[in-house]
Amino acid sequence: MRKFAARAYIWVLLILMYAPLVFIAIFSFTESRVLGSWDGFSTKLYQNLLTGNMQGNASLLSAVQNTLIIALIAALVSMMLGTIAAIGIHNLKGRKKQAITFLNNVPMINPDIITGVSLFLLFVFLGISQGYLTVILAHITFCTPYVVLSVMPKLQRMDSNIYEAALDLGATPAQAFWKVLVPELKPGMISGFILAFTMSLDDFAVTFFTRGTIGLDTLSTYIYADARKGGLTPELRPLMTLIFLVVLILLLVINIRQARIAKKNYIKQKLYKY
């Protein structure tokens, strides 16, 4: 009985949480311009999305494109900057380490709107005209701390001498970095990259304040503008549905892969232990 109550609670919550998403998904399969009215089953909206021949505002596709490009660049730069920074921070000691760790935490604790406003003021102050570049810089600012945090535990678990060991065996500092440090840190770097990428995809407020007035739209700012105009571009429905699916599949794959790696390691350990 208690088990039933517990399960019921979980499922009711899940159903409530997913109701809006399911609702959008259902209505992505009808042609109706207005959400909520069913004009019969159709994949027309999906076709429109793929061909770019939109019923509503055609800039949706360029917004999606911008979002992906910005997220990709920001995540890549963050991954590199954050990894090198993490190695540096790991080798720092005492007060210097505390200070930079604290600074690294600031962008994570700061609400988006503060990050957005403060960076907006910075670009105004420096006289940098806002657009693609400023949005990417802003995204790097709030993404890099997550990379640092993902790489740090890997460094802590690593034998501090392996870099020296590589040098000792004749590797140049560059070879030691690429052949030993990077392979060791790769898992942390990849999860940092994924975190940074999704953070960037997710962002609205920071982009909103740093994109300037050149009409640069990401998916978030597009949706915001679209909703404020009262309408809702019908093609957003299939787009959202696709995004839900992609994220869900990605998460499942990552977790299943992780579980499989864990299991493999476990078996290996068992096999070799005698």
Which residues from 153-172 bind other proteins, rule CB under 8 A? 153, 158-159, 161-172
* Residue of 58, 113, 133, 267 that binds other proteins (CB under 8 A): 113
- Whole-number Å distance between alpha carbons of 67 and 239: 13
Distance (Å, rounded) from C-alpha 21 to C-alpha 23? 5
> CA 260: distance to chain centroid?
24
Contact flags string 11-30 toward other proteins, x per CB under 8 A: --xx-xxxxxx-xx------
The residues, any chain, with a CB within 8 Å of residue 142's CB and separated by 6 or more, are 107, 108, 110, 112, 115, 199, 203, 206
Which strand (E) or helix (H) includes residue 110? none
Rounded Cα–Cα distance for residues 195 and 71 (Å): 11
Q: Binding residue for other proteins (CB under 8 A) from 150, 206, 211, 238?
A: 150
112 phi and psi angles, rounded to 5 deg: -50, -40
If one asks whether residue 31 binds other proteins (CB under 8 A), the answer comes out as: no
State the binding string over 194-233 for other proteins (x if CB under 8 A, else -): xx--x--xx-xx--xx---------xx--xx--xx---x-
128 touches other proteins (CB under 8 A)? no
Q: Which of 87, 128, 132, 212 binds other proteins (CB under 8 A)?
A: 87
CA distance 50 to 245: 16
Identify the burial level of 122 via C-beta atoms within 10 angstroms of its C-beta, where 0-12 means exposed, 13-18 middle and 19 or more buried: middle
Query: Is there binding between residue 46 and other proteins (CB under 8 A)?
Result: no
Residue 69 found at the interface with other proteins (CB under 8 A): no
Q: Considering the rule CB under 8 A, would residue 73 count as an interface residue with other proteins?
A: no
Binding flag, residue 252, other proteins (CB under 8 A): yes
Q: Which is nearer to other proteins, 72 or 158 (CB)?
A: 158
Does residue 74 belong to the site contacting other proteins (CB under 8 A)? no
76 lies in the binding site for other proteins (CB under 8 A): no
Tokens (6 digits) for 149:
């945090």
Residue 191 near other proteins by CB under 8 A: yes
User: What 3-state class would DSSP assign to 216?
Assistant: coil
Phi-psi map region of 94: left, alpha, beta (phi>0 left; psi -120 to 50 alpha): left
Which of 88, 215 has the CB closer to other proteins? 88
User: Minimum distance between the CB of residue 105 and other proteins, rounded to whole angstroms?
Assistant: 8
**Residue 242 binds to other proteins (criterion: CB under 8 A):** no
CB of 219 to other proteins, least distance (A): 7
